[in-house]
Amino acid sequence: MKRTPEPYLWLLFSGGGVVAALVLPVLVLLFGVLMPFGVLDWPTAEHLRALAGNIVVRIALVVVVVLCLFHAAHRIRSTSEELLGIARFDLLIAVLCYGAAIAGGVVAVRLMVGLS
Cα–Cα distance for residue pair 38/21, rounded to 1 Å: 25
State yes or no: pLDDT of 11 exceeds 70: yes
Q: What would the pLDDT profile of 83-103 be if each residue is shown by its tens digit?
A: 888 888 989 999 999 999 999
Number of CB atoms found within 10 A of residue 106's CB: 11
Q: What is the pLDDT of residues 35-59, one digit of tens each?
A: 999 999 999 999 988 998 999 999 9
Instruction: Let me know the angle formed at the C-alpha of 72 by 66 and 74, rounded to the nearest 5 degrees.
Output: 105
Looking at the domain 6-114, which fold is it?
3 helical TM bundles of succinate and fumarate reductases (1.20.1300)
Question: What kind and span of H or E run contains 74?
Answer: helix 55-84
Task: Give the pTM.
Answer: 0.82
Domain layout of the chain by residue ranges = 6-114
